[in-house]
Structure 1
Amino acid sequence: MKKSQLILIVLGIVIISGLYALPKVVVDNKAGTTAVEDPMTAENSSPNVSELHANELSSDNQSQADQLKSTLTASGEPSERIDAAKTLASIYQNGGMFDSAAYFLGKAVELKSTDLLLIEEAGKAYYEAFSFALDKAKVEDLAEKTRTYLNQVLDKDPSRLDLKTKVAMTYVSSANPMQGITMMREILEADPQNEDGLFNMGILSMQSGQYKRAAERFEELVKYHPDNLQGQFYLAVSYFESKEKNKAKAQFEEVKKMTQDPMILESVQSYLDRL
């Protein structure tokens, strides 16, 4: 399981943290999608990302990072500078500093702008940073950069539904959430068993308070992808919020069988104690 997925489950939240900042919309009914509220009203200015986390690395990592930054900005071979940028990105990513990791992968792309694999890597890094961002300006900036990179890959290969789901989610947090939701529906029309599509539509249904519909989405998800621990957990939460106590209890017990992580089990137990 990915580090970001583990964090979300351990927190025991009912929606991904970033979704608190999303516009409230009805995402999964026959009548269509209706915007209700957009709480992202605070204006914030983004700092220079190249200077972010300057004092948050360990002394050893900081020394290595300084050397790599010197290599990156020097007039050496492009391949060496790209390797320096990628290593810098890895250092920051391992430290949970996803915005800085994405920034340096973007610098690598500048040195080899035709490398689709590198472009995709940068786009995914920006999406990871986007998924953890909270303030309005940063969310918008990271979403735009995610689309800039991933759409280049999609232009070459429109069949990459895994990348399309990421682009769709960046639109959901924009001033036009319908564009993202429409894209997500298109993904599920093309591939009704799509893991990311089912998961994200379930999450969006939860965010809009449609817990019964969320449960249906997560039921589909775990039917086709039973090892998706995150989906299993949110299915239980959806049952809980829908007041389906027996189903919630049985589902939380199922989640307990899937992991031995004490923090996840504690989160599950907190729900069981409330049933």
Structure 2
Amino acid sequence: MKKTQLILIILAVGAVIGLYALPKVVVDNKAGTTAVEDPNAPETSKMEVSKMHENELSSDNRSQADQLKSTLASAEGSPEKIEAAKALASIYQNEGMFDSAAYFLGEAAYLNPSDLALKEDAGKAYYEAFSFALDKTKVENLAEKTRGYLNQVLEKDPNRLDLKTKVAMTYVSSANPMQGITMMREILEADPQNEDGLFNMGILSMQSGQYKRAAERFEELIKYHPDNLQGQFYLAVSYFESKEKNKAKAQFEAVKKMTQDPMILESVQTYLDRL
């Protein structure tokens, strides 16, 4: 199942999308901002993240991973080590072991610290792992890693709003959530039609119980990005939670026409049965 489809089901059964540790804060009122401090996160210690998953790899991938780890440990040249690290990351990514994938992309970035593309790949991988993490300490650690890599890219190219939204969301689950919310507002000020910005502000409004405000955000989102299936689904849920039964029913019916995924359709039907 695709990640987007999994997230839809997670919300449908009552969990919070991806960032399970999000605090219940007001996201659409004016608030002050706090200075952002983002020292580059240090590399993971030699108690490798990958070891947590060694026994879970499929047999074919386990053999290939062992060979690549041997190359990573013994190769003399950085290019060969980097390719081995990237190949290992791909294996773990394909098997849904996102923290291990991020670790190896971090290793690749460490081997060539001047390569911003590698830092971006590592940051995105850590963000994906962060999005699925459940343990509070792990969420915090993965968020710090995400910021450590992506902020290095943003220092060189501050107009990368796609990366800034990821950094903002890591702050939302931190001890200072308003820092992330302020960043998200800045993104929408710069680009009022920003897909990630509108989507995330809608999600945060839902998390804080502001379902009418969430509906407004998702209405904006699908106005500019009608193919955003998650936005269409969350708009229906926001209507449902706002007691807008007619709107909710119409929106859920619209979602049914957008996908053939049986799990999503089952979730939609569950809501329709409750109307």
Tell me the TM-score normalized by structure 1: 0.91
The aligned counterpart of 2:91 is 91
The CA distance in 2 between the partners of 1:151 and 1:199, in whole Å, is: 21
Superposition deviation, residue 261 in structure 1: 1.2
Matched, 1:180 2:180: yes
1:176-215 alignment runs, 5 A limit: 176-215=176-215
- Larger deviation: 50-59 or 211-220? 50-59
Equivalent position SS for 1:202: helix
Instruction: Give the equivalent residue in structure 2 for 1:37.
Output: none
Q: Describe the shift of the 1:221–1:189 C-alpha distance in structure 2 as closer, same or farther (beyond 3 A).
A: same
Question: CA separation in 2, counterparts of 1:191 and 1:17?
Answer: 24
Amino acid at match of 2:252: F
Task: Give 2:126's aligned residue.
Answer: 126
- Distance in 1 (CA, whole Å) between partners of 2:85 and 2:180 is 31
**Unpaired runs of at least 5, structure 2:** 33-44
**How far 1:13 moved relative to its partner?**
4.2
Q: Which amino acid aligns with 1:264?
A: I
Aligned to 1:36: none
Q: What residue identity is the alignment partner of 1:160?
A: R
8 Å Cα contact 2:19/2:133 also seen in 1: no
Partner of 1:257: 257
Per-residue Cα deviation, 1:56-111 (whole angstroms, up to 9, x for no partner): 00111000000000101114221111110001000000000000000000000111
Q: Percent identity?
A: 80
Whether contact under 8 Å (1:127, 1:143) holds in the other structure is yes
Paired letter, 2:5? L
Contact 1:15/1:203 (8 A) holds in 2 = no
| 1:180-216 residue CA offsets vs partner (Å, 9 max, x unmatched) | 0000000000000000000000000000000000000
Which 4+ stretches in 1 moved above 3 angstroms? 13-20
Native 8 Å contact 2:7 2:18 kept in 1: no
Question: What is the DSSP-based 3-state SS (H/G/I as helix, E as strand, rest coil) of the residue aligned with 1:258?
Answer: coil
CA-based RMSD: 1.6
Distance 2:274 2:99 in 1: 37
The structural deviation recorded for 1:164 is 0.1
> Which residue is equivalent to 1:226?
226
Measured in 2, the distance between the counterparts of 1:260 and 1:50 equals 35
Alignment of 1:160-179 (within 5 A): 160-179=160-179
Verify: 1:245 aligned to 2:236, yes or no. no
1:4 aligns with 3
1:20 shift after superposition: 3.4
Task: Check the 8 A contact 1:15/1:206 in 2, yes or no.
Answer: no
Alignment: residue pair count:
261
Given the superposition, is the C-alpha separation of residues 24 and 5 from structure 1 closer, same or farther in structure 2, using an over 3 Å criterion? same
